[in-house]
Each structure stands twice: as structure tokens, then as C-alpha cells.
Structure 1
């Protein structure tokens, strides 16, 4: 048997069995074969094998040294070198290997072209990946797929779709991987609205070529429709799946959560647990389920899920723990969220961000800032999200000067350049504090293009302070940037209604109707005895609706005797006072509060979540009810938490 001996350049000796000789006589051989007495006839390896072995061991530099002395490197050798460059994140070595294989005549090898494209993708050198593709004359489907994958990961979705059309035009058939990358490309582009149609076309191609039975393709379809907000399409694809795995179940649950349908997410999770044995929920599933519990403020459901996580041994996975922390905080149990954080053996920036955000939505701005400072003290560098969380906390607590200082520290101390989200936070901080001119100036001086988040923050602040002039300016930009976002039209109409500009209200409503848009209906959720109940404004289908209305009328009468005056400016109709009062009395959160009073024990805390901002009248009514009934009522709206107790709200009427 032949035994391989590797010598460093300093200890090389000539050998009559040398098979890898230097390219010039001045260099000694690197690789040699020696005779093994046990088998004197069979050679075991050569320099190609040595290079491949060194790559597997992570010795890339030594492998490259041996390569310089190998006259006939093989395809497998180059493959090993390319993979090693990727693993060691070495672009310079990758470029050297690329040049070497071109010199060796492998530049038109489709297999190696695929590997090179993958390498450049992983090394964030997308231009090099494109160049490999462009210079490869024989492009197999694997070469196309490699570039599709690289471009999708780099966020160049539109380019993938253009290449996909070109590939179809020249008659190259797609395979199962092609469709996965192209579907992901549909949501990797910035123009999501226009690409929904493209996604449906790709879906049609999948059906036409019989790939709809492959679970990874249908799961990607579910995810694509989820990102477009097309829940009905995602649900249809999921229901038609012949086979489902944990990934497909998780994708559909996440679809419901991301699109504001947390109730359906919990129902689907329950179905997954009861009806399947092969698809056991994993950490990804549990993160989405915890997010659903958080969205509904379903504390008891969340506790059950926590128990399931402990039984499954998923409580050591950081994303799960962070989601658990957030769930407790968003269910109004901030102390339990803090306890989860305190018990964590390892904390990453996501965990810290979750805690900062949790205190922020509860209006504890100064505590959130302190936690932010503790994070830095413990050696965890703040991320983009960290500043969004802490600036948001400043906004909810009215900490204007603190917010300004944190914003300025981003570049000066942490070398993080503000993004659109950070500017939106600053506009919100100033706008809520009625510093609308300063907020507008921030937008004017932005070094990047203000996005809908920024203009939306300004419009929301104009709604709070009824600034018609600035609201019109902000809405004009929003109608251009988000023509299909009904919320912007409703906000502007609210502002006009408060200013009694009824002709303008009618104009905005006509514009809303002309574009086929509808106001998002207000919904509230309450958990009673581990069951979640949902309420819509002026809900006529609840079996207890008459009892709920009777209780609200009784409470309203008592409150008026104590000085309560209904605030009806949220009603976008020019109606008489009594009719407006009837409408606001039927708001979903009032119905949920009444339901909680009737169906929970005396003294029990009532927890409600709402999908929109809490209106002024509901805020005022809930304060009165908390005092009259001696109940603590927690309401979480789309922005923050409101803790009502003894007629006082934790927000201090600043929200």
C-alpha cells in the first residue's frame, strides 16, 4: 500500500516516487508518495487528493500552496477550494482560485461555474457572480438557478424575474429549485404590489408543469402570498397541499400572524397539534404562535404555550425566549417578561431589544433607556432595531430631549446611520409633543428619501393635534407613496371631521371609494377562561349583544352624571349628536370591556387588545369604568399599552 507524506517547504526532500513536481526546477516537490511495505503496488493518492484533504481540514493556505505545484488540478480539487474559500469568507483567495481555474481551462465548466456563483454570493460579491454567469457559454439549469439564488439573497428580485423570462424565451425548462428562487424573488423586490401578478403567473407555471405536489414549492407559495398580504390565496394553497410538513404548517401560521389574523393562527396551531403526528412544532412554529398570543393579549393561552415549550425543551433557543418575553409583556404581564429575561443564561441583542421595546410600549420610557444603557455596559452593541425600540419608548413617554440625544448618538458613538425608521421615530417624538414644525423640519433636512413611515408619523401627529395644513401636505405624499393604504385616507378624513370640514370629508371618502378601498374595521379581542372572543364595532352577532348594550347605556348614564362628555369627533358623518353618541358607544373596545365585566369574576383584571389606535372617547370611558367598577383594565392598542385603574390611565393622556 502507498502511504502519503506531506512535507513543509522547509523539510522537503527529493524522492524517486515523487508524483507532484514543481513547475520550475528551483522549487522542490511538495507532495510525494512513499512505498508501504504492506501493499507495495497500489498508490493511494496524489496532490489533488492532498489539496482536497487540506480543504476539508480548513487549511486553505496550505492547500493553495500545494495547488501552485500541481500541474493537473481536477474539477473536484477546484470544487474543494471554492467551498473552502466560502467557509473561510476569503474573497481574495476565492479570486485567486478563480484565476487559477481559468488559466487551467476550467472557465467553461458549468459545474464549477455554479460553485463560483454560490461562492461569490456568500462572499457578498454579486457583481463577480454575474460576471461568471455572463462568461459561461454553456449554461445548464444549475447555472441559472445559482444566479437566481444569488440575486434573490442580494435583494435583486426584479433582475431574477427578468432573467426568468429570458430563460423561458430561449426554451430552458425550469426545475423545482427554479420555482423556489423565482417565488422568493417576487417578494425580494421593492415593488410588491406590481409583483403579486407576477407571482400568480409563476404559480400558474408551477401548476402547468405539475410541481404543485412538491411540499417545498407549495410552502414557498404560501410564504409568497403571505408577504403580499394575500391570505386567501395562501390559505387555498395550504388547503390543497397533498402533503404538509412542519415547515408548511409554520409558514401558514406565520402568514396569519403577519397579516393580523392571530385568532386563525392559534386555531391552525391547535389543528396542527391535534390532527398531525408527523409534523411536530419546532422553534419557528412556536415563535409565530407566541406572536399570535401577544397580538390577542391571550395571557392564559400564552401560559399554556409556555408549558408546551418547556416540555419540548425549546426554552434554550434564543428566538423562542425573546418571543416569550415579548408575549408576556404584550399581554400586560411586564414583570413576567422581565423574569424570563433575568433567567436567560445567554442574551443577544434581540433579547435586549425585546426588553427595551416591552418597557417602551408600557410607557416606561426612562426604564427603557436605562436597559439600553445596561445593554451597552454588558458589551452588547446596539443594532438598528435597538434604536428603533428605544426611540419608540421615548415617543410613548414624551421624552423629547432624551430622544434627540439618542438620535444624535447613533452616528457619533455607534456609527449607525439613521434609516427611514429612525427618522420616523424622531418625527413621532416631536409630533406627539406638538412640535410639528420641528418634525416637518426633520423631514426637510433628511439625507435620505422620506418614506411612508416618516410621512405617516407626521400625519398621525397632525391627527392628534388637528393640524390641517401639515396633514394635507403629508397626505399628498402618502397618496403617492401608498395609494392603496386606506388608513392614510381615513386619518385625513378624521382630521377634516374634527375641524368640521365636512365637504373635505366627503371628498376624501369619495377618493377612498374610487380606489376600491375600505376603512379597516375596528376589532378588539378579550380572553375569558382561556377562550378568545373577538368584537367588531357595532357588533350585532354576539349572543350577549343586548346585555352588553344595556350595560354600556347604564354606565354611560352614570358617567354623564359624573361629568363625562362623549367625544364624537371620530365619527366621519355629519349626524346629530345623539346618533354620533350611539355610534361611539358601540365601538369594539367598549363591547369587549362590557363583555369582560359580565363574564369575569369581581376584581379580576380585564385584558383587551385592539387593532387600531384607541379613540379619545373609548379612552375616557374606560377611565370612568375602571373607577366605577373598581377594576383594573389593560388595553393594548396598535401603538402602546394603557393601564386603567381608579379612573387614571398609565399613559397620562399622552398617546
Structure 2
């Protein structure tokens, strides 16, 4: 019998090579050609691999793993499909079996499969197993390193990524675009630590040295890293130098402005994107950021235009976009339109309910907010920690103390949610506004976690409302330790001293501000007129560019005084004569915005204003008086809530 030995490989030879060629002379007697045992085994192994791969593609993981146990020579492709099937079926137990099988044969150190195994364990939330695969690997290619960087970044282990990245650099392996993308994301994966920001800046320098500044994916991730750390100028610089920008780049920069207190810039950039990039279409992420900017500014007409664009593009079926619409309408004073959007939703999540609860709370409808909260639970949606922040805030703005206390108690008893510092801050605010300051202080004393600046800030704000000097000094001393660079805390304490006419103490606080070189955040107000946004800043000296507004305000103030208006100059922190104090309060940004609205809106048109700080007592009194004096409906949203002024009355009932 003639026989031959096939080469030891999993790849099968062509059919014409599987049997010996005919002899140059025919043999004297005929013989029967029979495949060798080795050939039969290879054919069988090939068929078995094809079978396992087919089973994997059908999604029958258990059957595929069982078939694997009878196959001594699986191919790389077979293992790859088994790994993918383990991920799709979310089966860690089968993943361990497949991994064990790989480790027992010649593929144990195959870089391709090592990369796939690390990715598999990452997808299955088994980061320790992923790290073990990496630690046992010897042929570490850049793909293996990248797989681990990605796994650790997704798991939030940013610091570990940075340490490994440093180790990789020492081994002489060059980074590629994926490496830079993962390590930049790792900079923010473990929280906003200044050390990681500095590391991000080092990576930025490496990117420039290695010539990756033209790669749109790397530069967009770099931009996003700076944006997450609030480094708006750095992010904007990266964006400005990008030779190529895609929709993700534009969206990242718009989001950077929207989330870092620059909503005006966000809308400007969005308009520029629409004018300059006809081939790029904004996506759902872009729309969410733009709607957030509209909400921050109270830009109702702009928001309506965006809503129309969303409908035309068919983006109204995307849940985050619709949730952002509800928030936008609520923040722009049109909670009824937000309610209409909510009612038409086919699918709702807890964020949808939270957005509606918050919208009603901002307008002072505390009881309605509680009702929506209860309706959410009845619909089978479990409240999130944000749900309680929203409903407790609504109770605070409406003076619903007992209802708020019951909701707070239900957090852990009924919903197994432990209160965070934000929830405690809501409770301190709720009690403090109701002049139950000692009870608010006791809440802080009994906290199960360490109170932070938000908690003590809520108490100090309440002391400002009720002019409680003793408790204010206690709260401010804590705040000066926790937030030594927050000028607002010093200003609040100075306000309290000024109202108590403790001018020596006011001077001491002002001296502290000067010594520590702290600047008060200037009051800023926005108004939308004919779909354009106008911004005004509080000033002590009259700006020559808005002389018309000031002249109008002076005339208006004089006429209002004749009708009984009395300026509340106690808000001025300087020990000045009364006329000088009146001149200062007349320059507050919300008054400038109101005056501009009176000069540039038609009869019957509502004036809508957004303020970055709390509405001061004099501006509240002024706007309330002018709504009746000029027969004008005025809507002002300050940092806490909405004030709806009409016929000389405010919707807050002077409780804010």
C-alpha cells in the first residue's frame, strides 16, 4: 500500500496534493490508494472546526463549547468565534472554559487571541481576569497593550492605565492613534484629579511630537479630555488648530461650552457649524448640548427653532433628545410645552420623569412635583437619587417642609437609596428657607457622611435670608476651610453683616477677599429679543455704550418713586450715602435687561430674563413694581427658581 505523510498544519493541502502522483510507468499489478490515518484526522479536524464555527454563528454557545472539548486542534478562527459568542451570551463561565482550552495548546501566547481574550473579559466586567491574561502574555504587541488600556479605562482605572502607559514607553513600543485615544480617556476615568490633567498635557505634547495632530479621532479625544476638566481655553485651542473636523469634533466643542458655563458660545458655535459645514449634519449628541445651552440662557425662541430641526431630522424618537427638550422648555418658562412633549412620548425613562418634576419645581409648583413623583412610582419606574434632588428642591421652593421630610425619610426606608451630600443640602435648604435654622443645623450634625461645601453653603444661604449672624459665622468658618477660593461665601457673609449694619465686620471680610485675591462673580443677565440673545453685566459705573438704557432706568425709577416704589439699598455692601447706594443698585444686570426688554418688545409680549445669581431683594421689588407700573408680564429665572411677575405680584409669593 502506498502512503504519504501530510505536513503538520491545520491548513489542508489542495486536493491534487492529497494523493501521490501516478508513477512514470504503470505498475505491473494494480494497487488501491488509501488515505493515511493522519490525513483522515486532518479532514475530520477541519470538518469539526467548521462545525464549531457554524454552531457559534447560530448562537448555540453551550453546544459549541461541548464540541470544543472533543477537538484537539481548534483553529484561530474557531477560538475567535467562541470568544465573540461568550461575549454575546454574557457567559463568564464559558469564557473561562474557552480561555482554559486556549492556554492548553500552542495558541496560549498568540497575540491576536490574547488581545481578544482581554477584550472579552472587559466586556464581561471581569477586569481582574483581563489583567491576568495580560500579565501572563510574553509577545506583547501594541494591540495587546491597547486592549488592556481600553479595558482598564472602561473600568475606571485611569491611574493604572497611566502607570502601564509609562511602562510601555520604557519598553520601546510606539503608541498608535488607539493608544492615545485610550490613555486620554483614562485621564478622566478615575475622577478629575489635577495629576491626571497634567498627564493629559504630557500626552498632548507626545501627540504633537509624533505627528498625530492631524488625526481627527485623537484630537477630538484630546479636546474632550480638556472639556471634561473644564479647561475651556485649552479645548478651544485644540479645536481651532484641527485641520479636519467631523461632527463629533463640533459636538464635543459645543458640549464643552454648554457644560462649562458658556452657553452663549455654545449657540454661536452651533450656528457657525450650520453655516460652514453643509456636508456635516448635527447628530443627537449635538442636539442635546444645544438644547442644554438654550435651557441655560432661557432662549425659548432659539429652543423652538431647534425643536423644529429635531422634528425635521427625525431625531424626536431618541430618548436623550426628548428628555433635553422637556428640560429646555421647563427652563425657558414653558413647562406646559414640556408637559406636552412628555405626554407624547412613547417611551420614558427615569430621566424623563426627573425632567418634568424639576420643571414644575422650578416654577414653584411643589405639590404638582410630588404628584408627578408618585405617578412615576405607580408606573413602575424606580426613583433615582436625582429624582429625590428634584422633588426635594420643589418642596424647598414651595415651603412644603413636612412633605419634604417624609420624602427624605422614604429614600432609604422604601427605595434603598442612601442620602448623599446633595440630598442633605436640599433638606438644609428646605428647613432654612422656612426659618427653621436650628433644625437645619441639627440635620448637619446628624449626617452619616461628612458635610461638604454644598451643605454648609445651603445653611449660609438660609442665614442670609433670615439674617442669622451667629449661625452664619459658624457656617462660613467651615466654608472657608472647605472652599477657601470661593469668593461667593465671603460675599454672603458680608451681605449678612451689612444687613445687620455691622460695618466693621463687613470691612474685615472685604479685606480677606483682597488679601486672598478673590474676585466676586459678576451678576449677569440674558434676554432674548427677536431670536437674538443679549447679555448684561452688573456694574457700579455706568457703561457709555448703554447710556440709553441707563437714562431710561433713571427716568423710570423717578416715576416709580412717585408711585410709591422705595429702593432697597441694604443690598449694597458699602457704607455710603443713600443716593450713591441707589445709583449702584440701579446698575444691576437684571434691571438693565428689564429696561432693554421694555424698550425693545411689543405691547403684550412677555419679557423673559435669565440671571446667573440669586435675584436680590431690590431687583425683585423693582421688577414686581414695574410689572404693574408698565403693565408688562416679566419672567425671570435666577439660580434657584422662576419668578413670574404680573400685575405687581410675583409667583414666588416673596419666598425664594
Q: TM-score range by the shorter chain?
A: 0.7 to 0.9
**Corresponding position: 1:309 with 2:310:** yes
CA 1:164/1:477 → structure 2, altered by over 3 Å: closer, same or farther? farther
Whole-angstrom distance in 2 between the partners of 1:48 and 1:503: 88
Distance 1:440 1:60, change over 3 A: farther
The residue number in structure 2 matching 1:182 is: 183
Q: Are 2:540 and 2:584, in contact at CA under 8 Å, matched by a contact in 1?
A: no
Measured against aligned partners, the alpha-carbon deviations of 1:588-618 in whole angstroms (never above 9, x if no partner) come to: 0100000000111122110001111111111
Unaligned runs of 5+ in 2: 1-41
Give the structure 1 partner of residue 630 of structure 2.
629
1:263/1:69 CA distance change after superposition, 3 Å? same
Deviations 1:325-382 (A, max 9, x none): 2211211111111111112222222211111111111111111111111112222222
**1:417, 1:615 → 2: CA distance?**
35
Would the alpha carbon gap of residues 187 and 488 (structure 1) be closer, same or farther in structure 2, given more than 3 Å must change? farther
1:46-445 superposed matches below 5 A: 46-104=47-105, 106-445=107-446
Cα distance, 1:545 vs structure 2:
2.0
Q: For 2:430 and 2:109, how far apart are their aligned partners in 1? A: 58
User: How far did residue 113 of structure 1 move?
Assistant: 3.2
* Partner residue, 1:536: 537
Offset of residue 518 of structure 1: 2.1
> Tell me, what secondary structure is at the counterpart of 1:527?
strand
Q: Give the TM-score of the pair, scaled to structure 1.
A: 0.88
Q: How many residues align?
A: 615
* Structure 1: gaps spanning 5 or more residues: 1-40
Contact 2:45 2:71 survives alignment (8 Å):
no
Q: Is the 8 A contact 1:245 1:278 kept in 2?
A: no
SS at match of 1:532: strand
Equivalent residue, structure 2, for 1:495: 496
Q: Aligned-pair distance for 1:191?
A: 4.2
Bigger drift between 241-250 and 368-377 goes to 368-377
State the 1:201 CA deviation: 1.9
Q: 1:312 to 1:87 in 2, by over 3 A?
A: same
Distance between the aligned counterparts of 1:372 and 1:549, measured in 2?
45
1 CA distance for matches of 2:593 and 2:523?
Answer: 12
Q: Which secondary structure does the structure 1 equivalent of 2:610 belong to? A: strand
Q: In structure 2, do the counterparts of structure 1 residues 175 and 476 end up closer, same or farther at CA, with 3 Å as the change threshold?
A: farther
Q: C-alpha offsets along residues 461-511 of structure 1, whole Å, 9 cap, x if unaligned?
A: 233233344434434444444444333333333333334444444444444
**CA spacing shift, 1:424–1:48, aligned 2, 3 Å:** farther
The alpha carbon displacement at 1:107 in A equals: 4.4
1:37 — aligned with what? none
Deviation of 1:281 after TM superposition, in Å, equals 0.6
Q: In structure 1, how many angstroms separate the alpha carbons of the residues matched to 2:501 and 2:570? A: 9
Q: 1:43 to 1:51 in 2, by over 3 A?
A: closer
Q: Cα–Cα, structure 1 residues 414 and 215, in superposed 2: closer, same or farther, change >3 Å? A: same
Residue 173 of structure 1: how far off its partner (Å): 2.2
Counterpart secondary structure, 2:536: strand
Secondary structure in 1 matching 2:317: coil
- Corresponding position: 1:471 with 2:472: yes
Does structure 1 retain, via aligned residues, the 8 Å contact 2:45–2:73? no
Q: Distance in 2 between matches of 1:488 and 1:421?
A: 18
Instruction: Give, in whole Å, the separation in 2 of the partners of 1:62 and 1:515.
Output: 71
Contact 2:522 2:538 in 1 (8 A): yes
Q: How large is the Cα RMSD of the aligned pairs?
A: 2.5
1:246-269 per-position Cα deviation (integer Å, ceiling 9, x unaligned): 000111111111112111111111
TM-aligned CA distance change 1:142 to 1:646, over 3 Å: same
Deviation (angstroms), 1:572: 3.2
Comparing 393-402 with 150-159, which one deviates more in the overlay? 150-159
Distance in 1 (CA, whole Å) between partners of 2:488 and 2:54 is 61
Cα drift, residue 541 of structure 1: 8.7
User: How far off its partner does 1:217 sit?
Assistant: 1.4
CA deviation vs aligned residue, 1:499-545 (integer Å, no higher than 9, x gap): 44444444444444455542221111111111111111128797772
Question: Shift of the alpha carbon at 1:567?
Answer: 2.5
**Aligned partners of 1:110 and 1:506: how far apart in 2?**
69
Q: What secondary structure does 1:448 align onto?
A: coil
